[in-house]
Structure 1
Amino acid sequence: MITKRFPSPRLSRRHFLAGSGAITMAVTHPVFAQAKEMATTSFGGVWGTAYKETILDPFQKATGTTVKLKMGAPAEWLTNGIVTRRRPDIDVLMLPYPQSIQAVMQDLSVSLSEKDIPNLANVERVWIDQYDGTAVGLDYVAYGISARMDLLPKPLKSWKDLWDPAFEQKLAVPAITQAGAWELLVMASKLHGGDEKNLEPGFQALKRLRPNIKKFIGGGNEHAQLLEAGEVVAVAMSTNTTPYALQDAGRPVDFLVLEEGSMVGMVSYHVAKNAANKAAAMEFINFALAKEQQVNFCSKLIAGPVIKGAELIGKAKERVPPLDRLVVFDWKALAPRMPELSERWNREVVA
């Protein structure tokens, strides 16, 4: 088996980046009265809208703290955390993979405890332990396949089906700079006898997959445009956001979770070691991990909650795969080698 299984809840989600700069919003809560302000990071777009409506705005009504919200890209936030580690500009780094793991390896954040964040007690341990207890996940997403169901030459049931000659020049996959690429490399390795520590089988497998790949997606709306135009019949290693948006617009598109399971993505909270506003940071994280916020945010975004017993509502209830369908891999084995692996990807897989 290549999957690392975990008990019950569910899953799915995002990678929405938009804009840069910083905005400030007022937020309120009397429990930690001494906390007056804090700074954290956020994506924009659909993700940012859901975050504002279900976590930031409710927090504003419940606290007396001013939250300085820094927009931009995860690589920028991580670099900021490293450069300003002695006097951080950002109290709470919210980061996705792989920057979240790189932050752990850089020893940027404090250990989190239930004393400071009582709602940690309700979080599934996998969303804490992978960060060595120095961060906690907010929500998680499944990586699967976006498919034009009316154009598939044959059903896709296993990740191995992507290598079938019937899909020649019919697939799109992420460029190495995009979300999903590392997950595809690791999945290809696991399917062919390797793992995150032995990626050679994955590179060889992706070279064999190359005749089936018509396009390496670089971001923006390419994913949706390729499927709508029928230029490709499937996008491998995508989140559920685009396919479900197309489906809700009446397109014959679906999000497929294959038999080996789905790779998982997530964003996590990291409190800077020398943060000036640690009390406010802990209070903010505790608020985001409360059941009400988890249900509302994840249901709106079609993402998976990290706490036990959070029952999603609406379409999310059916669209978010359970935890036991997820594949969690060791990012720490990958992170130090990413520059050289990126070069190899572009040289051997793309070329």
Structure 2
Amino acid sequence: MTITRRTFGKLVLGAGTLAPYHFIRPAVAQPKPGDELVVGIWGGAQERIVKEHVEKPLVEKFGCKVSYVLGGTPERRARAYAERGRPSFDVIYLNIFESRQAVKDGVTQAPTDAVPQAANLYDIAKIGGYGVAFNPCTVVYDKRKASKPVTSWKDIWNPEWKGRIAWPSYPGAEGTAALLMAAKIWGGDEKNIGVAFEKIKELRPFAAIQGSQDQLFQMFDQGVADLSVEFGSFTRKYAETRNPNIEIANPVEGQAVAMNVACITTGSRNQKLAEEWINLHLSEPCMLAYAREIYYSPTVKDVTLPADLRAKLLVGEDVAKLVDFDWDTVTRNQAAWSSRFNREIAG
């Protein structure tokens, strides 16, 4: 999986000043047969997809080698920071928050037009690197237990869900999305988070505080809870393979943005290969494979999606509605908010 709430809690988040999209191509050496590109990425389906749709054509074109640093985001990020300016790998995959901060900290490079497909990226995917997949958080629920479809984040506060909500833990990707969206829809924001805490307290008692996707899906299976906040893509896969009663809401206020980002490390010894790698990742075959296999939405506008698949993804206006946040403020307050969550919500 891309990022769990447990993983998210270990991250040092931050957006900082949004890095601009650059149009200057640096002079780089051309790849030679035998050159080795080192890629830090998540395992599982994502590793399998890039091996087929990125590594294979890259090796065929340049005669190069590709090796991988697999595992969780915190370890990958810590290694990149420790090796700043003298990286052992060339391409590192981070989440939206880390990628912005990494550019600001000089660990990775801002995007440039040396990657041709970058011109087709949605604007939000041109910040902090090259966005390769949208995986936003939203309200998910058992449609059998709903008197009407959930169309707004505010619907969580409908009395019919009392005692049936599995609220996501904080800090965590889903818990952060839930907290920040609660603030926004009830008149607050990242700088006035107290609104969210007071509104969330109104929802108690919860069926549970859930700490992972597997835990939540087991709760749905067993009827312990009927509503939560989760990654829409993972939930759709779960609904289609295990529980067809689960619905993924598309609230009028928008879904909370989450995105995987491919970044080229500062000081990469294989700059051209890294750019070619990312360009292949942004190509239609790879984007379609992500969409078909794990319902990650494309970050480029030039992908032709079949109608049945398009209905399950975020494209066009849905992408424009994704809700982004002031991650500098979130980072500064994470420890205090975590303490408050444990005391006032989970306690």
Q: Is the 8 A contact 1:14 1:241 kept in 2?
A: no
Cα distance change, pair 89–277 in 1 and its aligned pair in 2 (3 A): same
Match of 1:148 in 2: 142
TM-score, normalising length: structure 1: 0.82
Q: Is the 8 A contact 2:142 2:227 kept in 1?
A: yes
Cα distance change, pair 147–59 in 1 and its aligned pair in 2 (3 A): farther
1:338 aligns with 2:331: no
Match of 2:224 in 1: 231
Cα distance change, pair 298–52 in 1 and its aligned pair in 2 (3 A): farther
- Matched AA of 2:72: A
The one of 120, 139, 154 equivalent to 1:160 is 154
> Using the alignment, how far apart are the partners of 2:117 and 2:328 within structure 1?
26
Q: CA RMSD in A?
A: 2.5
Cα deviation for residue 44 of structure 1 reads 2.1
Cα distance change, pair 330–307 in 1 and its aligned pair in 2 (3 A): same
The one of 248, 252, 259 equivalent to 1:255 is 248
1:274 aligns with 2:262: no
Q: Is the 8 A contact 1:299 1:317 kept in 2?
A: no
Q: Is the 8 A contact 1:108 1:272 kept in 2?
A: yes
Deviates most, 57-66 or 139-148: 57-66
Match of 2:69 in 1: 70
Cα deviation for residue 53 of structure 1 reads 3.4
Cα distance change, pair 175–299 in 1 and its aligned pair in 2 (3 A): same
> Using the alignment, how far apart are the partners of 1:288 and 1:52 within structure 2?
10
Q: Is the 8 A contact 2:138 2:256 kept in 1?
A: yes
Deviates most, 259-268 or 63-72: 63-72
Cα deviation for residue 260 of structure 1 reads 1.4
Cα distance change, pair 66–84 in 1 and its aligned pair in 2 (3 A): same
Cα distance change, pair 252–269 in 1 and its aligned pair in 2 (3 A): same
> Using the alignment, how far apart are the partners of 1:105 and 1:204 within structure 2?
34
Superposition pairs of residues 33-72 of structure 1, within 5 angstroms: 33-34=31-32, 36-72=35-71
Match of 1:305 in 2: 298
1:295 aligns with 2:295: no
Cα deviation for residue 301 of structure 1 reads 2.3
Cα deviation for residue 309 of structure 1 reads 2.1
- SS of match in other structure, 1:82: helix
Aligned residue pairs total: 320
Q: Is the 8 A contact 1:146 1:240 kept in 2?
A: no
Question: How big is each residue's C-alpha offset from its partner over 1:20-55, in whole Å with a ceiling of 9 and x where there is no partner?
Answer: xxxxxxxxxxx9433711212221233433343333
Cα deviation for residue 204 of structure 1 reads 2.0
- SS of match in other structure, 2:304: coil
- SS of match in other structure, 1:263: coil
Match of 1:283 in 2: 276
Cα distance change, pair 288–69 in 1 and its aligned pair in 2 (3 A): same
> Using the alignment, how far apart are the partners of 1:296 and 1:101 within structure 2?
26
Match of 1:85 in 2: 84
1:323 aligns with 2:316: no
Cα deviation for residue 266 of structure 1 reads 0.6
1:191 aligns with 2:191: no
> Using the alignment, how far apart are the partners of 2:2 and 2:282 within structure 1?
18
Cα distance change, pair 338–106 in 1 and its aligned pair in 2 (3 A): farther
Q: Is the 8 A contact 2:164 2:224 kept in 1?
A: yes
Question: How big is each residue's C-alpha offset from its partner over 1:294-315, in whole Å with a ceiling of 9 and x where there is no partner?
Answer: 2333333212111122122374
Consecutive unaligned residues in structure 2, runs of 5 or more: 6-28
Q: Is the 8 A contact 1:16 1:44 kept in 2?
A: no
Question: How big is each residue's C-alpha offset from its partner over 1:160-199, in whole Å with a ceiling of 9 and x where there is no partner?
Answer: 1212232122011321243211111110110111122332
Cα deviation for residue 200 of structure 1 reads 2.1
Superposition pairs of residues 194-213 of structure 1, within 5 angstroms: 194-211=188-205, 213=206
> Using the alignment, how far apart are the partners of 2:223 and 2:72 within structure 1?
31
> Using the alignment, how far apart are the partners of 1:287 and 1:243 within structure 2?
26
- SS of match in other structure, 2:311: helix
Match of 2:343 in 1: 347
> Using the alignment, how far apart are the partners of 2:306 and 2:52 within structure 1?
16
Runs of 4+ in 1 over 4 A off after TM superposition: 13-17
Deviates most, 49-58 or 101-110: 49-58
Consecutive unaligned residues in structure 1, runs of 5 or more: 1-12, 18-30
Match of 1:26 in 2: none
- SS of match in other structure, 1:284: helix
Q: Is the 8 A contact 2:4 2:212 kept in 1?
A: no
> Using the alignment, how far apart are the partners of 1:340 and 1:250 within structure 2?
37
Cα deviation for residue 58 of structure 1 reads 4.1
Cα deviation for residue 210 of structure 1 reads 3.1
- SS of match in other structure, 1:109: coil
- Matched AA of 1:145: V
Whose strand fraction is larger, Structure 1's or Structure 2's? 1
- SS of match in other structure, 2:32: coil
> Using the alignment, how far apart are the partners of 1:200 and 1:333 within structure 2?
14
Cα deviation for residue 284 of structure 1 reads 0.9
Cα deviation for residue 159 of structure 1 reads 0.9
- SS of match in other structure, 1:305: coil
